[in-house]
Amino acid sequence: MRPVRHPARPRQPLGPVPATGAWRAEEGVGNRRFVHLGPLHLEAGGKLPDVTMAYETWGRLNERGDNAVLVLHALTGDSHVTGDAGPGHRTAGWWSEMVGPGRPIDTDRYYVVAPNVLGGCQGSTGPSSPAPDGTPWGSRFPYVTVRDQVRAEAELADRLGIGSWALVIGASMGGHRALEWAAGYPERVRRLAAIATTAQTSGDQIAWAHSQLAAIRADPRFRGGDYYGAADDDGPHVGLGIARQIAHTTYRSAAELDERFGRLPQGGEEPLGGGGRFAVQSYLDHHAGKLARRFDANSYVVLTESMLTHDLGRDRGGVASALAGITARTLAVAVDSDRLFLPEQSARIAAGVPDGELRVIRSAYGHDGFLIEFDQLGPIVADFLATDDDALPDPEYVI
């Protein structure tokens, strides 16, 4: 699919930017549910004394408890996988085309669980959450790894009575956690779908992340991470916005940006000497402003750093050994134009597991193809699940 080139349109101002876009209870709970896990000991040392996990569910758990699917979101995603925007949910579901009745992940058949990641800002414990003294954690929030995040999700599964998953599926950062689930809890993952992701963060990915972290920390309004309580427009939204702009260029392909925007001026104003700018600059500014209104700068730092820890082979004899130990039937999906998580990284996953297959999405959109190319991704996932004879519907349900 090729992107359509549209005439540049002026972006409307969105009003003041809050110091943090973290979810607050006064906005409404929406479809969130919460589980309090208690203390969580961390891989790098120390512990979080009281962890809360926010999550959403769709469908019903059958009597055997074997029809559960775990959906894991990407860096700035959340638990609102499917559904409308409304109180408690500032945006509509990010994967509504994939999850729901009759959709590829069919909620008439499967019990779907989607947690907000540990360290996030949409209900699970993170830097914007209260520390034991009642004030936000801020700069005091500890370093968490992908394995810490998965351990919290495993405890959540325990509380929900889910012994094993019919499928664990995640894309991008969510794919890191999906792979860690399969390597760390092989007896609990029957099928694994790792989409547009990698088994080990590469030097290139670390380099892209470094500049994003630097942009946030260089913003004087970041205040070392202790900006909660600041007035609107006095938070680190400039640094967070620049981080998002850097990231967004890796989420889309060079071909798409050139085909869609090229050198079009924004609003007809000539950039050279006329005080105008290019349409692609306006596009990136728009996405920067949108993220600052719904996300938290500290969570962006914490989660980005957790992605840098991702190495499936750490303490497992290397990546090849870790992949070889995965017992789940595995689907690796690559986007052919992805310049963040390269197709060869998906191929490495598929080739390294004992029962793996590689499927490739053809897209002009780059990494974000997993959020756009549902006409390709949907059938791939549906076909992968169609062979899951262990998760047939059961007429008796757990209430």
Provide the annotated active-site residues: 172, 338, 367
* Nearest partner of 143 among 226, 37, 222, 41, judged by Cα: 41
- The rounded distance, in Å, linking the Cα atoms of 5 and 227 is 40
Q: What are phi and psi of 35, to 5 degrees?
A: -130, 130
Percent of residues in the chain assigned helix, strand, coil, to nearest 5: 35, 20, 45
* Nearest partner of 343 among 330, 355, 333, judged by Cα: 333
The residue type found at 238 is V
In this structure, are residues 137 and 131 in contact, taking their beta carbons and an 8 Å threshold? yes
- The rounded distance, in Å, linking the Cα atoms of 374 and 98 is 7
Which pairing describes strands 191-195 and 99-100: parallel, antiparallel, or unpaired? unpaired
* Nearest partner of 80 among 33, 15, 16, judged by Cα: 33
Tokens at residue 22, please? 């973290």
Helical axes 297-308 vs 173-184, angle rounded to 10°: 50
